[in-house]
């Protein structure tokens, strides 16, 4: 288990390296960065940290890169005096969260690879029957690859022996199914196409109506049931 002194030593080494290698940078920018790094170093030295946070900070091989990322994310360019205390807490949290997120993604990916290896031992029919599970587990892995969930939620998932399978089972048990989402998407497309046909935009675009559009017009042209309330009111105004 690392000690906070290990983190401070690593920060001191990186700050010293920056000081030596940044002499060609504009003086103002260089001094502002040194001020920030020093404040960060001193803040980490006195702030309360849990043992897992200290371990993550000690293992981080580019602390100043993480510090710059935190600064960019939380400080507006117009700010003349950043809140270094808050930045220290964000810095410690960000370093810890990234390490845990990487571990979660590795666990999810490893579990998914293991599942694929198991499938290779099965018959083509069994693989075909597992197509939905294959697809959804791939989607879940990609979802968490770019996820911004909190460190606490990441840690909760990591307590599960098989987090990917647990996520998949939870999805199967949820009220909102993938079919419901597909249905909603299909309904949205149908509504947009119906509105397009109502407005007869294909005429505006100089398109020759297809056989299906001609049939649609024969069936529904003038059908007031297909218009929204606002469209009906507009039509009534025109008739008056």
pLDDT digits (tens, 9 = 90+) for 48-103: 999 999 999 999 999 999 999 999 999 998 888 899 999 999 999 999 999 999 99
Answer yes or no: do 224 and 147 share one domain.
no
Same domain for 89 and 107? no
Examine the domain organization and report whether 167 and 208 are in the same domain. Answer: no
- Predicted pLDDT of residue 145: 85
Quick one: pLDDT at residue 223? 60
Q: 168 with 210, same domain?
A: no
Whether 66 and 121 share a structural domain = no
Please say whether the beta carbons of 66 and 102 come within 8 A: no
How many domains are contained in the chain?
3
Where does a domain end: 149, 173, 197?
173
End-to-end CA distance of the chain: 83
Model confidence, pTM: 0.75
Instruction: List CB contacts of 98: < 8 A, sequence separation 6 or more.
Output: 66
Q: In this structure, are 168 and 92 located in the same domain?
A: no
173, 197, 213 - which closes a domain: 173
Question: What is the structure's pLDDT at 19?
Answer: 93
Among 88-102, 118-132, 137-151, 181-195, whose mean pLDDT is lowest?
181-195
Structural domain containing residue 201? 178-239
Please say whether the beta carbons of 36 and 86 come within 8 A: no
Q: Are 147 and 200 within one domain?
A: no
Residue matched to tokens 């990186």: 14
109 shares its domain with 84: no
**Residue-wise pLDDT tens digits, 137-152:** 999 999 888 888 899 9
Domain boundary among 173, 194, 223: 173
């Amino acid at each position: 288990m690392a000690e906070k002194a290990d983190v401070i030593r690593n920060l001191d080494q990186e700050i010293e390296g920056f000081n030596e290698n940044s002499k060609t940078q504009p003086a103002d920018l260089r001094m502002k960065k040194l001020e920030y790094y020093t404040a960060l170093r001193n803040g980490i030295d006195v702030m309360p940290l849990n043992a897992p946070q200290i371990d993550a900070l000690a293992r981080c091989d580019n602390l100043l890169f993480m510090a710059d990322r935190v600064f960019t994310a939380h400080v507006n360019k117009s700010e003349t005096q950043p809140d270094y205390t808050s930045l220290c807490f964000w810095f410690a949290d960000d370093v810890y969260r990234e390490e845990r997120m990487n571990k979660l993604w590795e666990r999810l990916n490893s579990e998914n690879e293991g599942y694929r290896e198991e499938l290779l031992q099965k018959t083509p029919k069994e693989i075909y029957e597992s197509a939905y599970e294959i697809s959804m587990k791939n989607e879940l892995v990609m979802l968490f690859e770019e996820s911004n969930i909190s460190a606490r939620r990441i840690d909760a998932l990591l307590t599960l022996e098989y987090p990917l399978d647990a996520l998949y089972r939870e999805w199967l048990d949820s009220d909102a199914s993938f079919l419901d989402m597909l249905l909603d998407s299909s309904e949205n497309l149908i509504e947009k196409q119906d509105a397009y046909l109502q407005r007869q935009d294909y005429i505006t675009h100089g398109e020759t109506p297809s056989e299906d559009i001609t049939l649609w017009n024969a069936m529904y042209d003038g059908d007031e049931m297909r218009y929204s309330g606002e469209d009906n009111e507009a039509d009534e105004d025109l008739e008056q």
